[in-house]
């Protein structure tokens, strides 16, 4: 649900209770200034962020390669072709 900052201040208990259903978004005019979420969702976010900080791009590609192998999936890459480049064309043409 969307709340204005003033509404959220006046009805803080309702805002906190509603987090069990969905994140509660708080706005000042049209700008999102806060989001209140339940503790379980926030914990999941912290775990994800910690894992993402430790994961290198090479590890992500290795996991993707493993998933593709398990699913018998192959990525078809189209043949490379040159595009017209107006900056390299000769002015006399």
pLDDT digit string (tens) for 21-62? Answer: 999 999 998 899 999 999 999 999 999 999 888 888 899 899
pTM of the model: 0.56
Question: 37, exposed or middle or buried, with CB in 10 Å at 0-12, 13-18, 19+?
Answer: middle
pLDDT digit string (tens) for 55-75? Answer: 888 998 999 999 999 999 987
- Of residues 29, 27, 3, the one with CA closest to residue 16: 3
Alpha-carbon gap, residue 60 to 66, rounded angstroms = 10
């Amino acid at each position: 649900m969307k709340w204005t900052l003033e509404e959220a201040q006046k009805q803080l208990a309702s805002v906190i209770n509603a987090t069990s259903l969905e994140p509660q978004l708080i706005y000042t005019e049209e700008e999102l200034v806060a989001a209140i979420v339940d503790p379980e969702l926030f914990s999941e976010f912290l775990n994800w962020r910690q894992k993402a900080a430790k994961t290198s791009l090479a590890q992500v590609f290795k996991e993707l390669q493993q998933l593709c192998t398990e699913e018998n999936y192959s990525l078809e890459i189209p043949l490379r072709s040159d595009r017209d480049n107006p900056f390299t064309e000769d002015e006399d043409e």
